[in-house]
Structure 1
Amino acid sequence: MISFPVYTALAAPLAAAAVVLVPMSAATAEPAGPLIETTCSYEQLDAALRIEAPQVADRLAQNPTAQQRVRDFLALPVDQRRDRVQDVLARNPDWQQKIDEKRGTPEGQQKIDTMNRIATTCPGY
């Protein structure tokens, strides 16, 4: 059973997944990282998910609304993706604390590593 918010969020909008995965840039206090900065299309990201996180891919495949949100997110330029993530954090201030807590666990780090690998390898799909 996947309980870490990264996976839950990815089944919903990718923006929420990015919130969980990406650190805030120390210099700018803006979200940064592979999920926000990826050049992958939805199809490439989905293919990478099927290999690296098949349970997440299955959940996403069963949710057309989430699929469209991911497509919409990936269609945005990087600066607009950052803004979207900032907006999500601003509307959900308790998320940052939960994110930080999860990030510090071995399970959380493993899932972050998986999602970062997906974001950086998806151009090959």
Structure 2
Amino acid sequence: MKWNHLSTRTALVIGLAALATAATVGTATAAPGDRTHPMLETTCSVEQIEAALAEHAPDLAQKLAQRPEHRAKLAELLAKSPEERRIVIQQRQGEHPGPHDGGHDGHDGQHARMLEVLEVCATY
């Protein structure tokens, strides 16, 4: 997934939300809505995501810890239903348009690490 050059201040929350974008806008191999993405269906709490980040992406965990306003936005997103999350993510994608090819990760594997966090957070 390609990311726009966003400030570090917003990259983490937008990054987590952007992970779900593939499910809302589709990829080269799937029509919109054909795939469920971990961010839309996760039952993890912010605390579980933080614990998984600490182990799997400590640099991202540190960024989140330094930005309580982003933690609050993440908590707000997680409190929503999957359909409400989809709407928020679509709105954020509209605010930060850019190419999303579903495969390229131009931020040092950040997309892959975020997916891993969302896949394992329920075990924390």
Q: TM-score, normalised by structure 1?
A: 0.74
Shift of 1:30: 8.1
- Residue 104 of structure 1 is matched in structure 2 by 104
CA contact 2:40–2:85 (8 Å) conserved in 1:
yes
- Residue 83 of structure 1 is matched in structure 2 by 87
Q: What is the RMSD computed on CA atoms of the aligned residues?
A: 2.9
CA contact 2:52–2:121 (8 Å) conserved in 1:
yes
Determine whether 1:52 maps to 2:43.
no
| Structure 1 residue ranges without an equivalent (≥5) | none
- Residue 123 of structure 1 is matched in structure 2 by 122
User: Hey, which of these two has a bigger chunk of helix by percent?
Assistant: 1
Determine whether 1:35 maps to 2:35.
no
Return closer, same or farther for 1:109/1:20 CA change in 2, 3 Å cut-off: farther
Shift of 1:54: 0.5
| Structure 2 residue ranges without an equivalent (≥5) | none
Say how many residue pairs are matched. Answer: 114
Per-residue CA shift, 1:10-39, capped at 9, x if unaligned?
A: 53x3xx224432313433358841122211
Structure 1 segments, 4+ long, off by >6 Å, are none
Return closer, same or farther for 1:108/1:30 CA change in 2, 3 Å cut-off: farther
Percent of matched pairs sharing the same residue:
28
